[in-house]
A and B are shown apart, each in its own frame.
Chain A
């Protein structure tokens, strides 16, 4: 994982289908960058995906944001991201029972 690849994936992210997004987001979550600045940029670029209509994309985005938050030291920033993270997870409740089940389990993990 390097800056060039990160940049490339970030650019590809809005262009691809929802499954493509899920793959890219999961890849980013598994291959975390070490640099603080790149991590922050990633989180900022991933945040809009929380508003996606597909629950899979929302959960993958939530996963990567949570993962990057562990490395974050500034309480202020953590709080601001958490504020953005909560509403999309709650709105997953508007889906079918299976999605609700997954959403609740994941929210439970986060708490």
Chain B
């Protein structure tokens, strides 16, 4: 993929690997999904369940934040309605690193569909993140809100 060959034919096979516990492999699979989800949105929909599970249920905060970050990078409007729910949940995550990732992700999904993101209450939630106890979360929330303000 990184040398420029089209390997989108392997999408279903690669998708199966997303269930793995191995962090490095997971990163690669996510990279693959981001790369080809634009070309094959229907197939990308199949990955959503895994995203949702990874973003909310995993015990490893790195996996949770990785899933959230990937969600933000998939700029497909059709997938948004499945992603916003888990994103909302991840915003209440106990781990600060996951929360700061959701802040950036929120700004990214806002770019894709401002109305829907606003309707879901993500922006409201983002504003409440300004009062988070962790400085890293606060600064990323500030960055996201600045970004959103510029779009308006």
Instruction: Give the B-binding residues of A (Cβ under 8 A).
Output: 4-5, 8-9, 11-17, 19-21, 23-24, 26-27, 30
Contacts and interface: CB of A to CB of B under 8 A. Distances in A.
Tell me whether chain B's interface is mostly helix, strand or loop, or mixed: helix
B138 A30 contact: no
Contact of B139 (A4, A5, A16, A30): A16
A5 B143 contact: no
Contacts of B146: 23, 26-27, 30
Most buried by B among A5, A9, A14, A23: A23
Q: Which 5 A-B pairs rank lowest in CB-CB distance, beginning with the nearest?
A: A20-B139, A15-B135, A12-B138, A16-B135, A12-B135
A32 to B, nearest CB: 14
A23 B145 CA distance: 10
Contact of B136 (A5, A11, A17, A26): A17
B136 A23 contact: no
B130 A23 contact: no
B142 interface: yes
B65 interface: no
Contact of B138 (A4, A9, A19, A26): A9
A4 B134 CA distance: 16
Interface string B138-152: 111011011001000
B131 to A, nearest CB: 5
Contact of A23 (B131, B134, B143, B149): B143
B136 A9 contact: no
Nearest to B127: A5
A27 B145 contact: yes
Given A20-B135, A27-B146, A9 B130 contact: yes
A21 B130 contact: no
11 contacts: A5-B131, A8-B130, A8-B131, A8-B138, A17-B136, A20-B138, A20-B140, A20-B143, A24-B138, A27-B145, A27-B146
B73 to A, nearest CB: 19
Contacts of B140: 20, 23
B109 to A, nearest CB: 19
Contacts of B135: 11-16, 20
A27 B142 contact: yes
A1 to B, nearest CB: 11
A64 to B, nearest CB: 13
B142 to A, nearest CB: 5
